[in-house]
Amino acid sequence: MTNRIMIVGVGGQGTILCGKLLTIALMKAGYDVKMTEIHGMSQRGGSVSSEISYSDKVYSPVTETGGADIIVAFEKLEALRYSDNLKPSGKMIINDHVMYPASVLSAKADYPEDLNSRISEKFNASFLKASEAAKELGNTKVMNIILLGALAKALDLDGVNWDEIIEENVKANFVEINKKAFRYGHDNINL
């Protein structure tokens, strides 16, 4: 069986780096890995997704409808948007954070108020205030690594040295804060 992870969010939130570090970890753990993402127009504040698949041998890089084991949503509305991709037995890890799309910013549409309860009723979902925590850690951008930490706990990969992966793939100045962010996510997610 191929394991499928989807990382969804808003263009500019750092889904790509999160996905990249995950694929490196999976390779180090000895898996065949594929990852797919859509670039281009969607970078401009649109909805974005990265899909990571791992197994002894992976064929399709794309996750089927109803095929994801875990969806990590960097923004709550995006968890709802991509929910059809989750297996009924799948799990959601959600950044408890709101980013208004253009139609809401311009007061032409409303942002659904009840997302936490609506999603929790239907799915096995864990919420984490990753954006707030990142701000407290001193850099809003490390939200993505907090969520990577939470995902790593859910995956429980054997023999992966995450600190080393962060050291090897993040600019020297940002290594320490990213390690802290990873640990925060790992230790605070309530799975």
Partner 1 sequence: MKNLLTGNEAVALGAVDSGVKYAGAYPGTPSTEIVENLSLCKEELYSEWAPNEKVALEGAIGACYAGVRSLACMKHVGLNVAADPFFTNAYTGVNAGLVVVSADDPGMHSSQNEQDNRHYAYHANVPMFEPSDSQECYDMMREAYEISEKYDTPVLMRLTTRVSHSKSIVERKEKLDVPFRPFEKTPTKYVAVPAVAKGLKVKVIKRKEELEKYSETSVFNKAEYYDKKIGVIASGICYQYAVDVLGKNASYLKLGFTYPLPTDLIKEFASNVEQIYVIEENDPVMETQIRALGIEVIGKDRFPLTGEMLPQIIRKVILGDANEVTAIDKSDMPARPPALCSGCPHRGIFYSLAKNKKRRDRIYISGDIGCYSLGYADPYNAMDSLICMGASISAAHGASKVYDMMGLAENKAVAVIGDSTFFHTGINSLMNVAYNNSKVITIILDNRITGMTGHQQNPGTGYTAQGDEALMLDIPTIVKAVGIKNVTTINPNDLSSVDEAINSAMEYDGPSVIIARYPCALKRFSKEDKSEFGEMYVERYSVDAEKCTGCKNCLRSGCPAISFDKTENKAKISDDSCLGCSICSQICKHDAIKKVVK
Binding site for partner 1 (CB under 8 A): 2, 10-11, 23-24, 27, 32-47, 58-62, 64-67, 77-78, 80-81, 83-84, 86-88, 100-112, 118-119, 122-123, 140
CB of 187 to partner 1, least distance (A): 26
The Cβ-side half-sphere exposure at 64, using a 13 Å CA radius, reads 8
Name the strand (E) or helix (H) holding 28: helix 15-28
Cβ proximity to partner 1: between 47 and 188 the closer is 47
Cβ proximity to partner 1: between 71 and 145 the closer is 71
Cβ proximity to partner 1: between 2 and 126 the closer is 2
CB of 107 to partner 1, least distance (A): 4
CB of 112 to partner 1, least distance (A): 5
Q: Could you give the maximum distance between any two Cα atoms of the chain, in Å?
A: 50
CA torsion, points 177, 142, 94, 156, in degrees to nearest 10?
-50
Three-class DSSP category at 88: strand
Distance CA(8)–CA(93), nearest Å, equals: 10
Cβ proximity to partner 1: between 137 and 183 the closer is 137
55, 2 Cβ separation under 8 angstroms: yes
CB of 178 to partner 1, least distance (A): 19
CB of 140 to partner 1, least distance (A): 7
Distance CA(88)–CA(91), nearest Å, equals: 8
